[in-house]
Structure 1
Amino acid sequence: MESNGSPAPRVRDIDLPLGMNVNTRPKQAGSRRLPPASTVFSALIVVAMLGTATAIATRERPFRFPEPVVVSVPVDATIQAPPEPAGTPTAPSAAGPSIIRAETPNTPPPSVTIIRDPSQTVQDQRVAHLPDRSLIEESPDGPLPKRAENGRRPFDTYARPWSGARGAKIALVIGGLGVSQTGTQDAIAKLPPEVTLAFASGGNSLSRWMQAARQAGHELVLQVPLEPFDYPTVDPGRGTLTVDATASENIANLHSVLGRMTNYVGLVNYMGARFVADADALKPLMAELGTRGLMYLDDGTSARSETEAVSQAHGVPFAAADTQIDGTRERGEILKKLDELERTARAQGQAVGIGSAFDTTVDAVASWVAEAKKRGIEIVPISAVARDPERR
């Protein structure tokens, strides 16, 4: 028996049962040791890892990057402009289609796969407001359209894509843009992108309005002033091409018109009843358009026009309007003309209507187009209905 305050007697191995020693003897009750802290921490890590794996396995879409988006971009859509930020599509190699990965904001790269198709020539609509430098000839009159070295035309590149489907289709061209700033802004904002816009060569801020129109999805043509029968009493404006001028004088005036803006597929006459009836006067004009790869649209107001025959002889894509939709500037009459266009399109497969950017015309066209689409009419750009000698 131990006395209070005296140390416990030392236990010797010889005094313990056989097979025991001091280190293996039973521990007293209440003195059990806890497992080491490192063991507990390891167990917690295992549990956390199992929990995370279970959560990932049970998610419908685990922690993954977004699915790549495939966008078809034409081979010649690359704009030769100042260097673009990282991720901007670059020109493909001559070996064939190339896949370019482009980063988009707030998503882990790569998130977009862009495929270039060398068989296409239409400009990428994301940069449709920028001029293609390979299609520009710098001149004292400004940037003139021209064919690229590989023969690609502005008519090809600046055309608005369409479905290519069979069925009734209508091209609508609304002109006079660039004259009234408010009217131009309203027309660009209100008219559906399938409607082609014609800019007056004598308008203001044409480059700015061109960019706005192209960003809104419109195909563009440029109005060229041609001599009417009562010229100069009725004057189409600066740079008018006339029957009595020499070929070089008319080409000089034509260049002053062509340099006013860029990104258009061709020209449409502004007035010009006398000029379009004279084949000899037309030939230098059409030869220049054919060389530069532009189309010609006849507004259909002259029964004596020689533009179709002369344009085809010079390899110029050609279209002619079937109806002037706003000869009477009243909503009901405009809608009647548009209905006539629909009947023509159903009977012949296609039709072309032309008008001016009056408020009444713009509002009537915008509402009529929405209804025509529901009836199965496809509204197409003017390039879609042009007869192209190079695509026979």
Structure 2
Amino acid sequence: MAGLPLSELDQPLGQAKRAHAPWPYGRWLWRGLTSALAIVFTGLALYAALKRDPVGGEPIATAMIRERPSAPDIANVPPQPATAEERRGPASANQLETDSGVTVVRPGADAPGAIIITVPDDGAIKLAPSPDKRLVERTRHGLLPKIGPDGATPLQVYARPLGPAPAGKPAGRIAILVGGLGISQSSTSEAIARLPGPVSLAFAPYGADLEKTVQRARSEGHEVFLQVPMEPFDYPDNDPGPHTLLTGPKGSDNLDRLQWALGRVTGYVGIVNFLGGRLTADDTALTPLLREIAGRGLMVVDDGSSPRSLLASAATKAQIPALKADLALDAVPRAETIDRELQRLETLARDQGAVIATASALPVTIERITRWARTLEGKNLVIIPVSAARGFRNPSTTGSLR
């Protein structure tokens, strides 16, 4: 076995294999390869960064954040002598015009070729927000109106103001109350948007989102009334709806029914009957209801639909502000009939000083009233809110339906 090379297992412990001499250029080659790889990876990283950020590599500005110096103690600053400009005092208007290069033409001065532009007032009138916390009380039927501790009433606070007086004395004033709102959303939206702001709106207590709808009407400048369902002569064949105020023994719960209706919404100035031929002719049934209304600071409007109605006269006796409509515009809902009633309304306005009409929120009615309202300025007639009509009635007028 002599002369054969020994394997690693056959070598004696502690005796390593004989090492070969190292390659003299290996160290430099390794360093070069390492540097080349570093350059390649650095380039790839830089490319990837620039690829993700299109504006990468652009110059970067560095801002220094410093604490703002504190304001000087004015009390310890000695007074400075006034400058020449300060001693001269404020510049005159002419001097300011000269310095600025602006020429001002004053009234009475000649201004050849000048054009006077008049910006019309849009007549926007804002109504007081509702509910006013002074004017509501919380009950099981919701927020009910009341007279405030300072004596303010919903009629006074929620009514639409008359606004600036028209130039010259009008030949007559016309108040229109459009009812039946709150049930049909399309008719209600059209009435709110198209009718002039001074036209008052009456809402039935049955609509969905009634509070929201009423507030939208008030935001457009319309004062609001609440229609209260009352028993007609042909009840129950003709039923005004749930919570109708009734006569006779059935009317023992009328106060509760009335409060239910009053609590459906806020921001109204008064109530108007919805139907009610039988109830409004019954003084016994009216008395406790009017007492309730008087204690809540509201006004009463009789829509004039029943010639036997005692509503307005009984309310006046109870010292409640009250009015009775003179005519209904759309008892016959045709355009030519409504136009004829509007012409009649103009005549009554000139005779009585102020006149009140009722109407329903029918599309034809809204369209005819809107068209007619544009002609009133040329006729020296104005539309006023219903709440204001009492102040312009001639003493000799009765306010009955004609």
Tell me, in whole angstroms, the C-alpha distance in 1 between the residues paired with 2:265 and 2:381. 32
Give the root-mean-square deviation of aligned CA atoms: 2.8
Q: Secondary structure at the match of 1:292?
A: coil
What is the Cα deviation at residue 310 of structure 1? 1.2
What is the Cα deviation at residue 287 of structure 1? 0.7
Tell me, in whole angstroms, the C-alpha distance in 2 between the residues paired with 1:246 and 1:166. 48
Q: Residues 1-392 of structure 1: matches in 2 within 5 Å?
A: 58-60=95-97, 126=126, 128-162=128-162, 167-245=171-249, 249-386=253-390
Amino acid at match of 1:176: G
CA contact (8 A) 1:247 1:284 kept: no
Residues 1:241 and 1:359: Cα distance change in structure 2 (over 3 Å): same
Structure having the larger proportion of residues in strand: 1
Cα shift readout 1:115-134 (whole Å, capped 9, x = no counterpart): xxxxxxxxx96463431110
CA contact (8 A) 2:170 2:382 kept: no
Gaps of 5+ in 2: 1-82, 84-89, 101-123, 393-402
Tell me, in whole angstroms, the C-alpha distance in 2 between the residues paired with 1:254 and 1:61. 71
Per the normalisation by structure 1, the TM-score is 0.66
CA contact (8 A) 1:297 1:318 kept: yes
CA contact (8 A) 1:178 1:204 kept: yes
Tell me, in whole angstroms, the C-alpha distance in 2 between the residues paired with 1:194 and 1:146. 25
Tell me, in whole angstroms, the C-alpha distance in 1 between the residues paired with 2:333 and 2:236. 26
Q: Secondary structure at the match of 2:130?
A: coil
Residues 1:170 and 1:134: Cα distance change in structure 2 (over 3 Å): same
Look up the match of 1:43: none
Amino acid at match of 1:224: V
Tell me, in whole angstroms, the C-alpha distance in 2 between the residues paired with 1:61 and 1:202. 67
CA contact (8 A) 2:194 2:366 kept: yes
Cα shift readout 1:143-194 (whole Å, capped 9, x = no counterpart): 1000001221111111111157664111001001101111111110000001
Runs of 4+ residues over 4 Å off in structure 1: 56-59, 124-127, 163-167, 245-248
CA contact (8 A) 1:317 1:387 kept: no
Residues 1:126 and 1:244: Cα distance change in structure 2 (over 3 Å): same
CA contact (8 A) 1:318 1:387 kept: no
Q: Secondary structure at the match of 1:371?
A: coil
Residues 1:125 and 1:200: Cα distance change in structure 2 (over 3 Å): same
Tell me, in whole angstroms, the C-alpha distance in 1 between the residues paired with 2:246 and 2:345. 32
Residues 1:203 and 1:62: Cα distance change in structure 2 (over 3 Å): farther
What is the Cα deviation at residue 374 of structure 1? 2.4
CA contact (8 A) 2:323 2:390 kept: yes
Tell me, in whole angstroms, the C-alpha distance in 1 between the residues paired with 2:127 and 2:201. 18
Q: Secondary structure at the match of 2:161?
A: coil
Question: What is the number of residues matched between the two proteins?
Answer: 280
Cα shift readout 1:360-388 (whole Å, capped 9, x = no counterpart): 00011111111123211111111112379
CA contact (8 A) 2:137 2:144 kept: yes
What is the Cα deviation at residue 62 of structure 1? 9.2
Tell me, in whole angstroms, the C-alpha distance in 2 between the residues paired with 1:211 and 1:180. 16
Amino acid at match of 2:222: H
Residues 1:287 and 1:62: Cα distance change in structure 2 (over 3 Å): farther
Per the normalisation by structure 2, the TM-score is 0.65
Residues 1:244 and 1:193: Cα distance change in structure 2 (over 3 Å): same
CA contact (8 A) 1:221 1:265 kept: yes
Tell me, in whole angstroms, the C-alpha distance in 2 between the residues paired with 1:374 and 1:194. 18
Q: Which has the larger radius of gyration?
A: 2
Q: Secondary structure at the match of 2:306?
A: coil
Q: Secondary structure at the match of 1:343?
A: helix
Amino acid at match of 1:131: P
Q: Secondary structure at the match of 2:248?
A: coil
Residues 1:133 and 1:222: Cα distance change in structure 2 (over 3 Å): same
Residues 1:249 and 1:387: Cα distance change in structure 2 (over 3 Å): farther
Look up the match of 1:88: none
Tell me, in whole angstroms, the C-alpha distance in 1 between the residues paired with 2:249 and 2:170. 44
